[in-house]
Structure 1
Amino acid sequence: MITGLDHVQLAAPEGSEDALRAYYVGALGMTELPKPPVLAARGGCWFRAGPLQLHLGIEKDFRPAKKAHPGLRVTGIEAYAARLAEHGVPVEWDGDLPGHRRFYSYDPVGNRLEFLEPVAG
C-alpha cells in the first residue's frame, strides 16, 4: 500500500550544486539535508520544507524539465512571490486552475516548479 510521497527527484548538471543551494535554500527558504556518504559522492543536493523533500541529482547530458514539475503548496502566495522577486527569481502567474492562485518559476538550471495556494471559500 502506498502511504505517502517520500520525495521528488529533479535532475541537474554537474557542478551546479552552489547555484542550486542559492535558489532552494536562499530564495525558496528550504533546508539542505545531508546526503548519505555513498550518495553524496555522486553529487547533487537534497532539500526539505516541512515534510516535502526535493532531491536534485546529477545527470549526464542533463536537460531541464520544462513541462514536468513538482507542485509546491504555499501559504501567503503573494508574499512568497515577492520573496522570490527580492532574490531576483522571476515568477509567471497563471490563473487557469480553478480554486487556486498559482505561479511558475524555474530553478537556476531550468527545471520548472509550480507554486500554488487554494483560494478560501
Structure 2
Amino acid sequence: MSVIGLHHVQLAIPPGVDDELRAFYGGLLGLTEIPKPPELAKRGGMWFRGPAVELHLGVEDPHVPARKAHPGLLVEDVDALAVRLCEAGLDVRPDDLLPGFRRCYVDDPAGNRLELLEPPPPAP
C-alpha cells in the first residue's frame, strides 16, 4: 500500500468572505468553482478546481490563517500572474531560493499564504 496522489488541499477561511475568495480564486487565479455535495455545502465554504489541482475552502470560526503551511500551485507564467495580482492590490513577494523555479508568494483574502511556482522549461 502506498500514497498514489493528492486529491485536494483544504484551507480554512473565516465566514463572510465568499465574494472576495471567489474573485481571487476564480477571477485572478482562473480556477473553476465546483459544487460541493449537498451535505457538505451546509457547512459553508467552497471548492475550486483547475488542471491537476483541487482546493477546498472550509469555514473555520474563529479563523487562523495559514501563514507558514501553504499549497504550492504550479502556474504557466508566474511573472504575468504576479503583475495581475499586484494590479488587484495584493502584496506579491518574489522569491528566487528554489533553483530552477520562478516563484512568488501571495496571501488570499482570508490571509492564507500561497506559493505560486513556474516550473523550469522541459529539457531539449
Report TM bin, short chain.
Answer: over 0.9
Deviation above 6 Å: which 4+ runs of structure 1? Answer: none
TM-score (norm 2): 0.91
Counterpart code for 1:93: P
> Does residue 25 of the first structure (1) align with residue 63 of the second (2)?
no
Partners of 1:75 and 1:86 lie apart in 2 by: 18
**Structure 2 unmatched runs, 5+:** none
Equivalent position of 1:2 in the other structure? 3
Pairing of 1:23-102 with structure 2 (within 5 A): 23-102=24-103
Q: Quick one: percent identity of the two aligned structures? A: 57
CA RMSD, 1 decimal: 1.3
Question: How far 1:64 sits from its partner (Å)?
Answer: 0.2
Partners of 1:77 and 1:19 lie apart in 2 by: 21
Partners of 2:82 and 2:20 lie apart in 1 by: 19
Partners of 2:42 and 2:106 lie apart in 1 by: 29
Question: How far 1:118 sits from its partner (Å)?
Answer: 2.4
Q: Which moved more, 1:73-82 or 1:109-118?
A: 73-82
TM-score (norm 1): 0.93
Partners of 1:40 and 1:89 lie apart in 2 by: 29
